Amino acid sequence: MVKAEENYKKALERIDTQPNYIYAIAQQFEAHGRIDNAIQAYERGLELAPNPVFYYKLAVLHGVQKNIEKMMERFLDYVETNPTYTTQVMRLLAEYISEDASQPYNQLFKNILLKKIQSTPNTLWNQWLSWLYIQQNDYKKAFIQEKAIFRREPESFQGLINLALLTKESKAYKTALTIFEFIIQNATAPRLIIQANTQCLELQLEVSTTDYNVIKASYLELLDTYKLGVETLDLQVSYADFLAFYDNNPDAAITFLKSALKANLTALASSTLKMKLADILITQNKFNQALLYYTQIQMRVKNSTLAQEARFKAAKTSYYKGDFDWAETQLKVLKSSTSQLTANDALDLQLLISDHKASDSLHTALKLYAKAEVLTLQNKPTEAISVLESILENHKTDPIIDQALLAQAQLYESEKMYSKAEANYIRIITAYKDDILADDAYFYLAELYRLHLNQPEKAKLNYETIIFNHEDSIHFVAARKQYRILRGDAIN
């Protein structure tokens, strides 16, 4: 043992005379479980022949020893010398950071970053603080950091844009609105100003009871300033959405889009407008006209993701019309779509059709279900609920019953009729526990208990059922996370 220690010491001393052997010697120490010696070798290497990889190796070794503070410090040293690896290191450190800002690792990492900012000011540390606050869902504090970065690097808006979009996606609408307003005040590029204004108008519809006439005037002012064309494409689509679904004037939306299509547009831009036009026509039960536009898109931008989406929507339009055989033919083609989302949607709709059309030669229940979907698109939840109820009452043996229960439950939720939604989910779990929608029912019921009915113990039981009985569910990861939070675990 004494001899071994002498050899370890000699190996470390060899580093001083032959720095080229640093990595090899450290690797040998690692291979023999001599973590302290490996750390010594890399630390000496940083003094004699600095190499960014040594920071990474040290971070990993400190992690093995559970010295989390040292691990975090060395990972930050690594990204300081290798900024391109920032995203990779963020993924590694995310294992130690939770949504709860009071957790020890969150506090530890925050303190390390604050010391970095004080000792060696660098926008990199502001970027990391922003990332930490985002993990904690504290978007206001993240915004403060992104503003600090912008003031030192005013040529780049990307951090602010990414944060604004993420904040919007997380439904922190008021904060997202504040961020987009800051972008508008400081941007000079017309495209960015248009995009930020478009986002602001959409967010105003979410957060306020502003008179729609005011919002409409803002849309028209922007369109008058920047004109119809490729640069205002997103603004045009947004305005059409506003007219159809907020201002309750789909005819005006259709007229506007047809007028916008007369501008000098690229194939992709005109196809984007046609997609929105067709979507609005669907809500007016003008299925044949919608099909015409979807077909034009497929021909105009062949093999693109947009073309695949148009083909799926064309198949779904045939389904709305009750032409199930044609819809199924199109959906079979789309199952091999390069867009995974389109392929999954196509598979789900094909299974819905194939599983239920054979049970009734007249397809009565399936036609009613499709009608309920159209009513939902038309923002007529009460009528949709009523149609689904007729399926539940008059087609009790049809295999579409569990699908109707689920769709109706989600409509009940949207209308804040939580006890009725709960009853539907429980009915699916009780009567159809071995069917494909059981895990959906367990998950949505758990979310209902957690978010709306203030019954965390019941939520925990339903999450637990998914974890132990539905390991292949798409809800498994989310269920496990929420279960552990409700149980009081530290999520590392």
Q: What is the pLDDT of residues 386-420, one digit of tens each?
A: 999 999 999 988 889 999 999 999 999 999 999 99
CA atoms within 13 A on the CB side of 237: 16
Q: What distance in Å separates the CA atoms of residue 194 and residue 184, rounded to the nearest whole number? A: 9
pTM for this one? 0.84
The stretch 320-334 carries a mean pLDDT of 89
**pLDDT at site 7:** 55
> Is the confidence at residue 492, as pLDDT, over 50?
no
Positive or negative, the CA dihedral 422, 426, 428, 433 is: positive
Full DSSP string of 114-170: HHHHHHS--HHHHHHHHHHHHHTT-HHHHHHHHHHHHHH-TT--HHHHHHHHHHHHT
Lowest mean pLDDT among 25-39, 74-88, 253-267: 25-39
> Is the confidence at residue 373, as pLDDT, over 70?
yes
CA atoms within 13 A on the CB side of 411: 24
The stretch 327-339 carries a mean pLDDT of 79
Full DSSP string of 273-291: HHHHHHHHHHHTT-HHHHH
Percent of the chain whose predicted confidence (pLDDT) is above 70: 92
Identify the CA nearest to 450 among candidates 465, 439, 440, 461: 461
Percent of the chain whose predicted confidence (pLDDT) is above 90: 72
Residue-wise pLDDT tens digits, 178-226: 999 999 999 999 999 999 999 999 999 988 766 899 999 999 999 999 9
Positive or negative, the CA dihedral 324, 328, 330, 335 is: positive
Determine if residue 225 is left, alpha or beta; phi over 0 gives left, psi from -120 to 50 gives alpha, anything else beta: alpha
Q: Where are the domains of the chain?
A: 157-265
Residue labelled with tokens 């947004």: 238
* Residue 337 CA to its chain's centroid (Å): 21
Q: What distance in Å separates the CA atoms of residue 427 and residue 320, rounded to the nearest whole number? A: 27
Q: What distance in Å separates the CA atoms of residue 311 and residue 389, rounded to the nearest whole number? A: 31
**pLDDT at site 12:** 63
- Mean of per-residue pLDDT scores for the chain: 90
Question: CB under 8 Å, gap of 24 or more: what pairs does 296-300 form?
Answer: 296/271, 297/271, 300/267, 300/270, 300/271
Q: What distance in Å separates the CA atoms of residue 186 and residue 180, rounded to the nearest whole number? A: 10
Q: What is the CA radius of gyration of the chain?
A: 29
**pLDDT at site 46:** 81
12-42 burial: b if 16+ Cβ within 10 Å, else e: beebeeeeeebbebbebbbeeebeebbbbbb
Question: CB under 8 Å, gap of 24 or more: what pairs does 371-376 form?
Answer: 371/320, 372/404, 372/407, 373/320, 373/407, 374/282, 374/283, 374/285, 374/320, 376/407, 376/411
The stretch 481-485 carries a mean pLDDT of 89
**pLDDT at site 344:** 82
> Is the confidence at residue 9, as pLDDT, over 70?
no
Which range of 16-20, 207-211, 455-459 scores highest in mean pLDDT? It is: 455-459
Residue-wise pLDDT tens digits, 143-179: 999 999 999 998 889 999 999 999 999 999 999 999 9
pLDDT classification of 355: cutoffs 50, 70, 90: confident
The C-alpha torsion from 377 through 260 and 219 to 193, rounded to 10°, is: 110
Pick the CATH number of 157-265 from 3.40.50.170, 1.25.40.10, 1.10.10.60, 3.30.10.20: 1.25.40.10
> Is the confidence at residue 19, as pLDDT, over 70?
no
